[in-house]
Amino acid sequence: MRELNLGMNFFGGHDTGIFAIFDDDCYGLLEERVTRFKHDALFPIDAIEEMLRYKRIDPKAIEQLHVGVATLEFENRLLPQMSYEMTQSLRSMLTPPDSPLFIKEYTRKKEALRDKGRFSQMMTFLTNPHGRRYLMMQLTGKKRPLREIVMTHLQRIFVHAKIDLSFYEHHLCHAYSSFYASDFAEAMIFSFDGYGDGLFAKLYLADKEGRFTPIGESANVYVPNTEKYAFADNGKLSVGNIYSIFTHLLGFTPLADEGKVEALAAFGDHRNSLYERLTEGYRIDGEHLAIRLDASVYDALFAPASIKHIFKELSREEIAAAVQRFAEETALSLLRAAQKRHPASALALCGGVTANVIMNLRIFETLFKHLFITPAMGDDGIAQGAALLKLFERFPQKRGEFRFPQMPYLGSAYTEEEVEAALQKGDYAYEYLGEAAWERAAELVASGKIGALFSGRMEFGPRALGNRTIVADVRNREIQKILNKEIKNRPLFQPFCPSILEEERERLFEKSYPNKHMTIAFRLKEEHAEAIPGAVHVDLTARAQFVEKRDNPRYYRFLKKIRELTGYGVAINTSFNRHGRTMVLSPEHALRDFADTNLDFLVMEGYLIQRGEDGV
């Protein structure tokens, strides 16, 4: 291979990653899946190296590297030229000997270091070789434009390549990742995010030739009382950032735990003073199709005394419900105005806010008959969009014909030989069952066991879709408590989600469509709630993945056997990882997390590993 087309996303604060488009394949991977630091913002060197390993590409053989980078405003931003090396040194300094360091522990140690006195803090650095290296780079390093830093990193990997580097607008990258992953010939596209190139929302129309026409945009506004929230873009307020700030104020982790606020909202009533104040601060500009935020209203809302009063007056459930409803109504109000001016039956959604499955449900129920939410809706998806924009820049004729694969199994896979080699490094009780392993997994789940499935290429995006998945029996009323106690450590109010045979969809749900990516909730018919209580939230919604044989033959076989044994082709599906870690990528990751949890079994490429009485 002499040429490589690569998209990248980084230095946005979270979820750096890569996406490569080949003649007959695509490859996407987040940096966090390799480093196992959740929402890692590190330059994606590890992800690039993993792609090269999996695709068997010799980087020295690449003569031409075509790179698209998401987010225009980053191109000339000045950053320490050794940002990557400094972060690596700090992580090495805080890593326990001979042990991986996971994000929760790393964050705790960083906070403890920050809270030390200056003398004690300096001694910590000086008495550690990695700490001394960090200080030296901090003292001697210069700042350089991001473009130059990117070129330096890439040239070190692709030593003989001529590098063609372009930066693209943030929301356009989102929009391309969504439309070209859908099966729509033409559609409206809504990118809804916290921040990107000065905007938090943008609307487009895409036609059959692949032409994108922007029809509306919503700008962030500066709100002084939110400047202290660095995760919310230091005062550049948006609907998404309001949601993240309240995620933080409710005691959760912003840019990670918004789903917990969404789940908590189902237990509260949104009709309260906070909801009134939130809605007072925005209006829909129907002429320009924009959400206009009033900085003065939100500055008063986020004043310390105001926040203190809100939390004194309202319960956590009421606060969550108000914030959730506010997000829903802003989206619905804008989309109503857009649909009125530009009638469309199909809508493609993208951007981090569209991870909100209840908001997506309301859009589907009230506005758009045909809906698609891109699987990598967050900032992982902008690497995908940047790769495609770069491809179209080189080959404009591909605009009307290109499509991403329907299922986002776009990461690395491992052979049976690689799995067996990993197994032989430890003391595991295992047997090889081949393709029969998936039926055996179904039998174990139906008997009350909890296990994990590791198969094929890893999912690109935040959802596990059967290839890096923990599975359990939806009939068990206590399954949520068991999973949380033994593996996930999530709040009890946060539901787990089901994978369901597509042929079961109409039997189990009210209005729905064959969503394959767990990106929207649907309303379960009440008569089935008693039979499969583990699959449904308190409001009778479920964020379902509907599975057909062509999507994932092995996972389909597993669910088919579950239906044969239980009467329902439904199983709990949650990502395969221990709490605080990222979804497993490799056999080594899988075996480590299996050993560190109380999972009963693991199926890995035809091998069945079961836990003995004394552990693994």
DSSP readout, 487-514?
Answer: II---TTSPPEEEEEGGGHHHHBSS---
Report the alpha-carbon distance of residue 246 to residue 240 in Å, rounded. 10
Q: Are residues 507 and 536 in the same domain?
A: yes
- C-alpha closest to that of 554 among 451, 446, 455, 472: 455
What is the mean predicted confidence (pLDDT) over 251-279? Answer: 96
What is the mean predicted confidence (pLDDT) over 477-483? Answer: 92
Q: Are residues 201 and 334 in the same domain?
A: yes
Alpha carbon separation from 309 to 244, 247, 302, 303, 568 (Å, rounded): 19, 17, 11, 10, 48
Q: Are residues 64 and 94 in the same domain?
A: no
> Is 410 inside a domain boundary?
no
Asked if 577 and 599 touch (Cβ cutoff 8 Å), the reply is no
Rounded mean pLDDT of the chain?
94
> Is 470 inside a domain boundary?
yes
pLDDT of residue 544: 97
Asked if 523 and 511 touch (Cβ cutoff 8 Å), the reply is yes
What is the mean predicted confidence (pLDDT) over 112-130? Answer: 87
Alpha carbon separation from 437 to 419, 431, 433 (Å, rounded): 14, 10, 5
- Kindly state the DSSP code that residue 459 receives in the 8-state scheme: B
Please, what sign has the CA dihedral across residues 432, 434, 438, 442?
Answer: negative
Asked if 475 and 532 touch (Cβ cutoff 8 Å), the reply is yes
The CA dihedral of 74, 75, 80, 83, to the nearest 10 degrees, is: 70
Domain count along the chain:
4
> Is 257 inside a domain boundary?
yes
Alpha carbon separation from 359 to 326, 354, 481 (Å, rounded): 10, 7, 26
> Is 227 inside a domain boundary?
yes
Exposure of 529 by Cβ count < 10 A (0-12 exposed, 13-18 middle, 19+ buried)? middle
3-state secondary structure at position 108? helix
DSSP string, 44-85: THHHHHHHHHHHT--GGG--EEEEEEE-GGGTT-EEETTHHH
Q: Are residues 392 and 475 in the same domain?
A: no
> Is 483 inside a domain boundary?
yes
Exposure of 432 by Cβ count < 10 A (0-12 exposed, 13-18 middle, 19+ buried)? middle
pLDDT value at 37 more than 90 = no
pLDDT value at 534 more than 90 = yes
Report the alpha-carbon distance of residue 486 to residue 282 in Å, rounded. 43
pLDDT value at 12 more than 70 = no
pLDDT digits (tens, 9 = 90+) for 566-611: 999 999 999 999 988 899 999 999 999 999 998 999 999 999 999 8
pLDDT band at 206 (very low <50, low <70, confident <90, very high): very high
pLDDT band at 90 (very low <50, low <70, confident <90, very high): confident
- Kindly state the DSSP code that residue 614 receives in the 8-state scheme: T
Q: Are residues 275 and 289 in the same domain?
A: yes
What is the mean predicted confidence (pLDDT) over 215-229? Answer: 97
- Kindly state the DSSP code that residue 487 receives in the 8-state scheme: I
pLDDT band at 385 (very low <50, low <70, confident <90, very high): very high
CA atoms within 13 A on the CB side of 11: 24
What is the mean predicted confidence (pLDDT) over 519-523? Answer: 98
pLDDT band at 99 (very low <50, low <70, confident <90, very high): low
pLDDT value at 98 more than 60 = no
Residue 274 neighbours by CB distance under 10 Å: 24
pLDDT value at 153 more than 70 = yes
Q: Are residues 70 and 155 in the same domain?
A: yes
105: domain range? 83-141
Report the alpha-carbon distance of residue 389 to residue 376 in Å, rounded. 16
pLDDT value at 615 more than 60 = no
For tokens 């004043």, the residue is 303
DSSP string, 416-457: HHHHHHHHHTS---EEE-GGGHHHHHHHHHHTT--EEEE-SS
Q: Are residues 322 and 285 in the same domain?
A: yes
pLDDT of residue 312: 98
Q: What is the pTM of this model?
A: 0.94
pLDDT band at 207 (very low <50, low <70, confident <90, very high): very high
pLDDT value at 101 more than 60 = no
pLDDT value at 285 more than 70 = yes
Of all residues in the chain, what percent are helix, strand and coil, respectively (each to 5)?
45, 20, 35
pLDDT of residue 96: 64
3-state secondary structure at position 90? helix
If one compares 388 and 92, the residue with the highest pLDDT of the two is 388
Domain endpoint, select from 346, 365, 398: 398
> Is 148 inside a domain boundary?
yes
Q: Are residues 334 and 230 in the same domain?
A: yes
What is the DSSP pairing of strand 521-523 with strand 497-501? unpaired
Asked if 454 and 594 touch (Cβ cutoff 8 Å), the reply is no
Q: Are residues 150 and 134 in the same domain?
A: no
> Is 159 inside a domain boundary?
yes
Q: Are residues 488 and 499 in the same domain?
A: yes
Token duo for residue 116: 């030390």
| CATH code of 559's domain | 3.90.870.20
| CATH code of 356's domain | 3.30.420.40
Token duo for residue 37: 């630091």
Report the alpha-carbon distance of residue 304 to residue 75 in Å, rounded. 36
- C-alpha closest to that of 70 among 11, 9, 27, 28: 9
What is the mean predicted confidence (pLDDT) over 459-485? Answer: 95
Q: Are residues 75 and 198 in the same domain?
A: no
pLDDT value at 97 more than 60 = no
pLDDT value at 427 more than 90 = no
The CA dihedral of 359, 361, 363, 366, to the nearest 10 degrees, is: -130
> Is 94 inside a domain boundary?
yes
pLDDT value at 104 more than 80 = no
Q: Are residues 162 and 216 in the same domain?
A: no
